[in-house]
């Protein structure tokens, strides 16, 4: 089955076409036939499409909205120049999977999209005002351009965390805020953490209930997930992705009283302060230079910039703090796994996060940590380490494709 996986972000559309079925999934031989990205939807967009091992297209063109973006993807898929293996017309796409950011309490697993589901995604709009509307526009655009009979499936970034117990997801504020406004911890990056759980299970040849790991997704956005018995038990992002670790431009955990204090002292509105915490804080806020970890590491090494060094140290300390907290919550873990742009690619950051964790049972092998190509899947702890450490590159698209296959083939039966 050829599956179009679509990720409509707040101003971009990413896609992959993945060929998968039961045999491929069992043999882990699912194949990415093509992928692409349209950035700056709503203006002069940057388009880059690539058919695996064949063609590649890069251009700037005005793309007004998500409908035009999906149309541009469809045109490319059908054009003879794209040369995508097995795809000649839109009828060679058998189902579409959408990464939907927020499923609220309504969607605890992936689901075939119909009118009710669309309304449900709309109902969660307040919880993800930038992302859920973009996801809905993507769903409608696919229906218009690929036809109403093509199965579309929603895979939610919050769903993996729906197994968190109340003790993990409730905030200790008056209970009626949960009852009336659904204020609770939802968690994000669920599809990425689910992939890590799935991949770890395959690599170790164990059953799901034996997957007791801590997954660290470290990228521009970062989160940690305590996975117990293959299920999310706790995670660092909360009501919104602002909670938890230090991120590229997000503060992560802070004392909420700071908000009132800044408002009072600086005359800033609540909206301005929340925007500052989301867009001007984190690595960027502390360093005053950049939100990009690779650039910060270069600054630290070349210019010995004090604040670049401080930003990285705080990032690593907070990650280590969550590892410690989750080890305590879970009563120990078998492994910790690093993923995301920083987690999979930076031996230095992995080393700095794990420094001093030896008494807790985790010893990195510095050779294995530094060896290997960028993002290469491998063990990076010593053979004696009681808790193992792994690098596993993120692959959210694969989880979405397999979910789509599962639901779309069940629909057919």
Closer to ligand ADP by Cβ: residue 210 or 298? 298
**Is 190 or 341 the residue whose CB approaches ligand ADP more closely?**
341
Cβ distance to ligand ADP smaller for residue 183 or 297? 297
φ, ψ (nearest 5 deg) of residue 276: -60, -40
Q: Find tokens 């989301």 and name the residue.
A: 278
Q: Among 51, 293, 353, 389, which residue sits at the site for ligand ADP (rule: CB under 6 A)?
A: 293
CA nearest 149: which of 100, 99, 112, 103? 112
Cβ closer to ligand ADP: 251 or 346?
Answer: 346
Q: Work out whether 412 is an interface residue with ligand ADP (CB under 6 A).
A: no
**92 is known as an active-site residue:** no
From 92, 114, 157, 298, active-site residue: 157
Region near ligand ADP per CB under 6 A, out of 75-83, 203-211, 215-223, 312-320: 215-223
Question: Does the footprint of ligand ADP cover residue 20 (CB under 6 A)?
Answer: no
294 binds ligand ADP (CB under 6 A): yes
Q: How far is the CB of 70 from ligand ADP (least distance, A)?
A: 21
Least separation, in Å, of the C-beta of 241 and ligand ADP?
10
Which tokens go with 392?
């596993």
138 binds ligand ADP (CB under 6 A): no
Could you tell me if 18 and 398 are in contact, meaning their C-beta atoms sit under 8 angstroms apart? yes
> Alpha-carbon torsion 394, 397, 400, 406, what sign?
negative
Candidates 29-37, 62-70, 146-154, 217-225; binding stretch for ligand ADP (CB under 6 A)? 217-225
Within 10 angstroms of residue 37's Cβ, the number of other Cβ atoms is 16
* DSSP codes, 346-366: -HHHHHHHHTT-GGGT--B-H
Helix (H) or strand (E) holding 226: strand 222-228
Contact between 395 and ligand ADP (CB under 6 A)?
Answer: no
Q: Which of 145, 19, 147, 23 is nearest to 87 (CA)?
A: 19
Residue with smaller CB distance to ligand ADP, 24 or 279: 279
Instruction: Compute the distance between CA of residue 36 and CA of residue 45 in angstroms, rounded to an integer.
Output: 13
Tell whether residue 342 is a contact of ligand ADP (CB under 6 A). Answer: yes
Should residue 248 be labelled a site residue for ligand ADP when binding is judged by CB under 6 A?
A: yes
Q: In 157-292, where does DSSP find H-type helix?
A: 166-169, 176-181, 190-204, 257-266, 270-279, 282-287
**What radius of gyration, in Å, describes the C-alpha atoms of the chain?**
22
Which residue's beta carbon is nearest to the bound ligand ADP?
341
Between 97 and 230, CB nearer to ligand ADP: 97
313 binds ligand ADP (CB under 6 A): no
Q: For residue 52, what is the DSSP state? A: T
For residues 170 and 165, give the distance between their C-alpha atoms in angstroms, rounded to a whole number: 9
Which of helix, strand or coil describes residue 14?
strand
The set of residues, in sequence order, having a beta carbon less than 8 Å from that of 82 and lying 6+ positions away, is 34, 49, 51, 54, 55, 57, 76
Q: Does 120 help bind ligand ADP (rule: CB under 6 A)?
A: no
Q: Which of 345, 363, 369, 385 binds ligand ADP (CB under 6 A)?
A: 345
The one segment of 89-97, 164-172, 329-337, 342-350 that binds ligand ADP by CB under 6 A? 342-350
Cβ at position 396, least distance to ligand ADP in Å: 9
- Residues lying near ligand ADP in the complex (CB under 6 A) are found at 219-221, 248, 292-294, 297, 340-342, 345-346, 374
Which positions are annotated as active-site residues? 157
């Amino acid at each position: 089955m050829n599956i179009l996986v679509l990720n409509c972000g707040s101003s971009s559309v990413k896609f992959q076409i993945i060929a998968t079925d039961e045999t491929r999934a069992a043999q882990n031989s699912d194949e990415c036939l093509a992928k692409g990205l349209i950035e700056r939807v709503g203006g002069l967009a940057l388009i880059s499409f690539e058919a695996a091992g064949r063609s590649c297209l890069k251009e700037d063109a005005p793309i007004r909205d998500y409908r035009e973006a999906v149309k541009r993807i469809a045109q490319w898929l059908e054009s003879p120049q794209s040369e995508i293996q097995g795809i000649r017309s839109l009828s060679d796409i058998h189902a579409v999977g959408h990464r939907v950011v927020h499923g609220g309490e309504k969607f605890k697993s992936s689901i075939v999209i119909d009118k009710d589901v669309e309304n449900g995604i709309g109902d969660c709009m307040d919880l993800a005002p930038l992302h859920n509307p973009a996801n809905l526009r993507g769903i409608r655009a696919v229906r218009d351009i690929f036809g109403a009979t093509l199965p579309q499936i929603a895979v939610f970034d919050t769903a993996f965390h729906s197994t968190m117990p109340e003790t993990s997801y409730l905030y200790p504020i008056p209970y009626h805020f949960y009852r009336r406004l659904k204020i609770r911890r939802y968690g994000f990056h669920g599809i990425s953490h689910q992939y890590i759980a799935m991949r770890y299970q395959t690599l170790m040849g164990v059953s799901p209930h034996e997957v007791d790991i801590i997954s660290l997704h470290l990228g521009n956005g970062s989160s940690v997930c305590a996975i117990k018995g293959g299920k999310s038990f706790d995670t660092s992002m909360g009501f919104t992705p602002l909670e938890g670790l230090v991120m590229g431009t997000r503060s992560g955990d802070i004392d909420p009283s700071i908000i009132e204090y800044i408002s009072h002292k600086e005359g800033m509105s609540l909206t301005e302060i929340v925007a500052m915490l989301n867009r001007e804080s984190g690595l960027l806020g502390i360093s005053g230079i950049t939100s990009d970890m690779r650039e910060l590491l270069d600054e630290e090494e070349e210019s010995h910039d004090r604040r670049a060094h401080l930003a990285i140290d705080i990032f690593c300390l907070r990650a280590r703090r969550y590892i410690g907290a989750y080890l305590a919550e879970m009563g120990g873990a078998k492994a910790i796994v690093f993923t995301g742009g920083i987690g999979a690619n930076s031996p230095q950051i992995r080393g700095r996060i794990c420094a001093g964790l030896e008494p807790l049972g985790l010893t990195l092998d510095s050779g294995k940590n530094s060896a290997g190509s960028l993002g290469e899947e491998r063990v990076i702890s010593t053979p004696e380490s009681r808790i193992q450490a792994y690098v596993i590159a993120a692959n959210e698209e694969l989880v979405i494709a397999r979910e789509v296959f599962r639901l779309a083939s069940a629909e057919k039966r």
